[in-house]
Amino acid sequence: MRREIPLIITGVVGVGFLIQYFIPHAPFSYMSDWFSDWFSIVGACAIVLGALNLLKISAQKAIKRKKDWVYSLVIIASFLLIVIVGLLEGKDFRVAGTNFDWLYNYMYIPLSATMFAILAFFVASASYRAFRARNFEATLLLVAAFFVMLGRVPVGDVISNFMPEGWRLSNLASWVMNYPQSAGQRAIMIGIGLGIVSTSLRVILGIERSHIGGGK
Amino acid sequence: MEHFSLWLAAFLTLGIISFLYKDNAWYKLTEAIFVGLSAGYWFVALFWDNFYGKFWIGKDEHLYLYVGAFLGLLMLLRLIPKIGWISRWPLSFIVGATSGLWLINYFSSNIMKQVQATIMPLFSTQYGAGFNAEPATIIGNLVIVFGTFTGLVYFFFSKEHKGAFGYTAKMGIWVIMITFGASFGYTVMSRMSLFIGRIDFLLGEWLGMIL
Amino acid sequence: MIRLPANLDRKACAAFFVALFSLFLLVPGARSQDAAAVVDSIIQAVNPDSLPPELYPQAVTNVEVKDTPNDAGKSISISWEKSVDDYENGKVKVYRIYRSEIVDGQPSEYKEVGDIPAGLDEYSFQDGNTVDGLEYSYKVMAVNYLRENNITAWEAVSVTVPLGPIKSSAQWFDWRRINAFIGVILLSFFIVYYIQQAKSGKDLFIRKIAGMEAVDEAVGRATEMGKKIFYVPGLSDMDNMQTIASINILGRVAELSATYETYIDVPVCRSMVMITAKEVVKEAYSKAGRPDAFQEDQVHYLTDDQFGYAAGIDGMVVREKPATIFYMGTFYAESLILAETGNSIGAIQIAGTAMPSQLPFFVAACDYTLIGEELFAASAYLSKEPKLIGSVKGQDVGKGIMLAAIVIGIILETFNIWHFSRIFSVID
Amino acid sequence: MSTKAKEILTLALIVVFCLVFYIRKVSGGEGIIFSPLVSWLVIAAMIISLLWVLVLTIKGRLISRRVVFVYVGIALALPLFMPFSQKIPISPEVQALYDSVKTLKPGSKVLISFDYDPPSAPELQPMAESFIRLCFERDLKVIIMGLWPQGPQQANMALEKVLSDDKMKAKNLKYGEDYVNLGFQTGNEFVIQRMGTSFESMFPTDYRGTSYDSLPLVRNVKNFSNIEYSFNLSAGFPGSVEWVQIAVDRYGVQLGLGNTAVQAPQMYTYLNAGQVTGILGGMNGGAEFESLCHYKGKATKYMLSQSFSHMIVIAFIIIGNVAYFLSGRKSALKKK
């Protein structure tokens, strides 16, 4: 029974959510809204499991004095700090001027914005390494990137100033973006669409079932 | 307090940047703070926005919300090892609903819509407009049709890429490479802007060096 | 373990089609009655004495009110042609729509339900706030006004006669989506057909997928070096097909690494993915005959936060130096942070995502990348299960039909024979 | 000197540097701007050092990742102190967006969805500011919402900036009548879907807690059919893709996009298919839009850094390829 019931639930629910698209009448018209709400609520419950897992693993590391165990204590402390502050703050925890807002603005934002921003460096080192005309495919990648990169900043037009209006690097970049780039994106998108339809169908029909796990 | 706030933000910012040099104690500290803090942030946000904001406030008016709470409860049975397997039920529900919704949404937006956009008169600006397109547009149209066609051929899995079919697939991967190159080039720009934002904070807001 | 009845799949297929086709049964009785009322307009000037008559615009013509078709009810559509005074700097500034509920055959007070600024050729308005079954009456006003500094000096209004009575109702089938309906059924049919073919023993071919070809080698290398394997299932939750596809691939990879006796570490960023991935890895270990080797903490949660997750994985990667890293699922900007850090320690990296914007980074920084659709075909390829390969064949037939449609359509449209692309239209 | 000692020394220098400038700022020190001569010298020094790197590479000594990092840092930071300005060419997709806004009649309602958070603000905030400014200049009514929790806060920052302008002050714009901020709602793409039937059900109150009904601007706005134009500032999911798939495809909304440059390429397919009216892509798109609106904002100011960083990346690609070819395509160069 541990595998049958989940399979049946998946199949029935899957078909239900598939046909709701064609039926404007209630209750089908509400189904996707309902699912969104249900998913939000389930997500809010499930994060308890995730948080406990994080705390458990960090605590184990600290107790067993594994390498770098001090940092595990930092994880636990900063988790508890923001959770306690946030829960005490009440439902308006995001309002400017609260303690939570301070933690958000002066700790969370600098951290996540900087983590995002160091991409600038990784993108440079990746291009330095990856953009080598190793074979024909790599050369195409390199050439397209080169034109777009130059064409998208004013410098590009300064360099190509000798060309007639409409043929400068910025126009070329736009052309590459509009046509060959679009074509490739479109092929990828149609492919993804077919892949998703096929995978969804396999899941609904119960052919692909590893997500259910095993056991009796 | 204001001085402390700014210095704390700068300390954390530089801690992350120090990872570029190498893994070090400063980064380990900021990373630990980041992991704990962000996990807690989402815990609080999901609690107030989703559980309280969605369920607790709306439960009397919208009875269907109890279904969500029930599924959530089943999920939490995971904590009791003996009956933890019941949590597969809400998961199958979610996987089923996702499959159904995605099947139809991607069929209409990624397949129907994109095929529709690809089917176009090659020499006109729109259907029925006569042969009025400029040479640049005609070339563009041809490139789009050729690129989409060959690109799709590349994704054929059940036919060996040999002979004429293989050549078409090969051209498909070329088009895809151009796409990737162009996307990459575009992104280089985007990523640079982000770091400019951080420099603006460090040298502008914090140290007051930028006019 | 209880075995499934062998014919369950067939039953499921049958049930699936019965459910889809039963929709048709619902359809006939449920078509909407388009109670349309077309009325010529008569000018009803408001306060005729207070303003010079030349300020009044002509009222609108050809007004039509009807129950909005193909919807969930609670909506009535009103459309009209522009007033003759509706031109650049003309006498019509705005149109207003008024509504009244009809009680005992008599309209009650008319209240404004919306406005549209003038300047278009045709107008349509949806009053999306009606109660199904109640009768309503509508009026459309053409309004001229003078407004200075946000204060209205005067207004001249021409009103149509009351339109209606009209009711809103919900429909049982959205006829605008009949093309998608047929398309989904066709595509599903091909997929299910080839699944059946494969089950009945027909040998189906599947081409090499470079990234998946390398899985053996990548896992083997980790075994040789005595190092870990990382499997990163991406940023999305279980409500995303990419994550589900990734979980399926995880099942195969974990089984392989369990066979090779290599530790696979799965850091996740969603609690529900953690639960599912735990089940999957556990099952993979028992399939490989090593259920005791499975450790609960192999699959562990870090944080729901995009960059917190990236920072955490970066730290793990540089400290534990895994030999092989898999990135499968939904990725956003963190893709390159992860892939570059992985590259800097010299790990073999295999990535797969259907996020077009992140594919270039994986292609640039990883050894192998599954591009878009390949991610969804990968689990079929790895498992070599006939049924899964059958479904891939079915989706290829779908692709063939799309290609044929594109070619035929372009020929028809280029030579002005038929507006073929309309049949793929999903708007209205 | 050992590596450890070097590291400690560098760290100490950084601390001293920061302290000096912080004290200078607190005691009222102004920003720094290079003179043109100094700027040119800096540029020359950078070029010469790059040539030196090229020579080293040709000699067979590959530079490490860290050197690349240092160059990128310099190329991004130093131009902020330079006094140069540059002409910005306008791309057609930006022009198209500007034109589509220009054709709206005064009084038309524009819905702006802020679907990003502070990390993406460097790219999107300038667009938000200049778009709102344009709307107000053309007497359009602005309705703001957010699918990301921090979106409406970003919107308020942008509004504050725009309204502090003297020209805008003269217009005497009123909250609730000329613009309104409906706040954030959870539910991702489902929010858009439900707005298709009723805005009010998703935003019973605005971000201040005022009820939807008592806001004159939106009182009569039931759903998308009452909106003349919508603009989506997006940094990911939920964002532009969802707006196109639901608001445009299902409800026929006229939509313009402001995207991070990463997302922009994907959106060109929608532009081609006529699903969106125009796209502002990345900081560059922001700068182009600013120049169409005759306004010098942060995007314009940062464009110099942007150009420099592109040049540096291109320079390194060239250096990398030179090295690659000179090494006789040996695979030894593939890693580091």
Complete DSSP assignment for C184-236: HHHHHHHHHHHHHHHHTT--------HHHHTHHHHHHHHHHHT--EEEE--S-
Find the mean pLDDT for residues C185-204: 92
Interface predicted TM-score of the whole assembly (ipTM), two decimals? 0.88
* Band of pLDDT at residue C112, cut at 50, 70 and 90: confident
**Average pLDDT along chain C:** 85
Domain end (from C117, C143, C166) = C166
- Within a domain: residue C405? no
Give the pLDDT confidence score for residue A152 in this predicted structure.
73
Task: Quote the domain boundaries for residue A72.
Answer: 67-117
Find the mean pLDDT for residues C63-86: 89
**pLDDT for residue C24 is more than 70:** no
Residues 269-328 of D with CB under 8 A from B: 269, 272-273, 275, 281-284, 302, 305-306, 309-310, 313
Give the pLDDT confidence score for residue A78 in this predicted structure.
97
Q: Does D209 touch chain A (CB under 8 A)?
A: no
Q: Which residues contact D188 (CB under 8 A, 6 or more apart)?
A: A36, D147, D237, D238, D242
* Band of pLDDT at residue B130, cut at 50, 70 and 90: confident
C132 shares a domain with C58? yes
C308 shares a domain with C244? yes
C278 shares a domain with C138? no
Give the pLDDT confidence score for residue D207 in this predicted structure.
84
* Three-class secondary structure of residue D281 per DSSP: strand
- Within a domain: residue C14? no
The 10s digit of each residue's pLDDT in A53-64 is 999 999 999 999
C-D Cβ pairs (cutoff 8 Å, strict): 63
Which has the minimum average pLDDT: A208-212, B135-139, B160-164, D69-73?
A208-212
Q: Does C307 touch chain B (CB under 8 A)?
A: yes
Which of A10-14, C172-176, D188-192 holds the top average pLDDT?
Answer: A10-14
Domain count for chain C, please give it: 2
**Average pLDDT along chain D:** 88
A127 shares a domain with A105? no
C215 shares a domain with C133? no
The alpha carbon of D334 is separated from its chain's Cα centroid by a whole number of angstroms, namely 34
A101 shares a domain with A135? no
- Within a domain: residue C252? yes
pLDDT over 70 percentage in chain A = 98
Element (H, E) at C110: none
Nearest-CA distance C246 → chain B (Å):
13
Give the pLDDT confidence score for residue D272 in this predicted structure.
79
Residues of C in Cβ contact (< 8 Å) with B35: 302-303, 308, 311-312
- Within a domain: residue C426? no
- Within a domain: residue A180? yes
- Within a domain: residue A211? no
C80 shares a domain with C226? no
Domain end (from A117, A134, A152) = A117
CA angle C189-C194-C195, nearest 5°? 95
Find the mean pLDDT for residues C57-64: 87
- Within a domain: residue A212? no
* Band of pLDDT at residue A214, cut at 50, 70 and 90: low
- Within a domain: residue A196? yes
C139 shares a domain with C80? yes
Residues of B in Cβ contact (< 8 Å) with A11: 96
The 10s digit of each residue's pLDDT in B56-111 is 988 888 899 999 999 999 999 999 989 988 999 999 999 999 999 999 999 998 99
Rounded Cα distance between A30 and C73, Å, is 12
A133 shares a domain with A200? yes
Give the pLDDT confidence score for residue C12 in this predicted structure.
55
pLDDT over 90 percentage in chain D = 47
Residues of B in Cβ contact (< 8 Å) with A179: 139-140, 143-144, 147
Rounded Cα distance between B141 and B121, Å, is 8
Q: Does B159 touch chain D (CB under 8 A)?
A: no
A157 shares a domain with A109? no
**pLDDT for residue C39 is more than 50:** no
Class of domain D92-298: alpha beta
Q: Which two tokens stand for residue C209?
A: 């997928």
Rounded Cα distance between C15 and D214, Å, is 51
Task: Quote the domain boundaries for residue C81.
Answer: 36-166
* Band of pLDDT at residue C185, cut at 50, 70 and 90: very high
- Residue bearing the bigger pLDDT, C185 or C22: C185
**Would the CB atoms of C241 and A25 count as touching at under 8 Å?**
no
Give the pLDDT confidence score for residue C25 in this predicted structure.
45
Domain count for chain A, please give it: 2
Q: Does A87 touch chain B (CB under 8 A)?
A: yes
- Residue bearing the bigger pLDDT, C380 or D119: C380
A-B Cβ pairs (cutoff 8 Å, strict): 405
DSSP B210: B
**pLDDT for residue C2 is more than 50:** no
* Three-class secondary structure of residue C139 per DSSP: strand
* Band of pLDDT at residue D117, cut at 50, 70 and 90: confident
- Within a domain: residue C338? yes
* Band of pLDDT at residue C5, cut at 50, 70 and 90: very low
Residue D185 near residue D191 (C-beta atoms within 8 A): yes
**pLDDT for residue C152 is more than 50:** yes
Find the mean pLDDT for residues A58-75: 94
**Would the CB atoms of C360 and B181 count as touching at under 8 Å?**
yes
- Residue bearing the bigger pLDDT, A102 or D323: A102
A113 shares a domain with A135? no
Residues of D in Cβ contact (< 8 Å) with A181: 265, 268
**Would the CB atoms of D265 and A32 count as touching at under 8 Å?**
no
Q: Which of D68, D81, D275, D309 to mutate to test the interface with B (most CBs of B within 10 A)?
A: D309
Give the pLDDT confidence score for residue C46 in this predicted structure.
42
B-C Cβ pairs (cutoff 8 Å, strict): 183
Residue C41 near residue C60 (C-beta atoms within 8 A): yes
**pLDDT for residue C19 is more than 60:** no
Give the pLDDT confidence score for residue C396 in this predicted structure.
95
Q: Which of D188, D192, D234, D302 to mutate to test the interface with B (most CBs of B within 10 A)?
A: D302
Give the pLDDT confidence score for residue C11 in this predicted structure.
59
**pLDDT for residue C33 is more than 50:** no
A153 shares a domain with A103? no
Domain end (from A84, A117, A150) = A117
Give the pLDDT confidence score for residue A170 in this predicted structure.
80
Find the mean pLDDT for residues A154-178: 82
- For chain D, the structural domain boundaries read 18-86+300-333, 92-298
- Within a domain: residue A130? yes
- pTM, to two decimals: 0.85
Which has the minimum average pLDDT: C111-120, C262-271, D23-32, D152-161?
C111-120
In chain A, the largest separation of any two C-alpha atoms, in whole Å, equals: 75
- Within a domain: residue C178? no
**Would the CB atoms of A71 and B101 count as touching at under 8 Å?**
no
Which of B171-180, C380-389, D1-10 holds the top average pLDDT?
Answer: B171-180
**pLDDT for residue D223 is more than 90:** no
**pLDDT for residue C34 is more than 70:** no
Q: Which two tokens stand for residue C238?
A: 């279980």
Residues of A in Cβ contact (< 8 Å) with D270: none
A164 shares a domain with A128? yes
Residues of D in Cβ contact (< 8 Å) with A157: 87, 89
CA angle D202-D206-D210, nearest 5°? 120
Complete DSSP assignment for D187-243: STHHHHHHHTT-HHHH-SB-TT--BGGG-TTTTT--SGGG-SEEEEEESSSSSHHHI
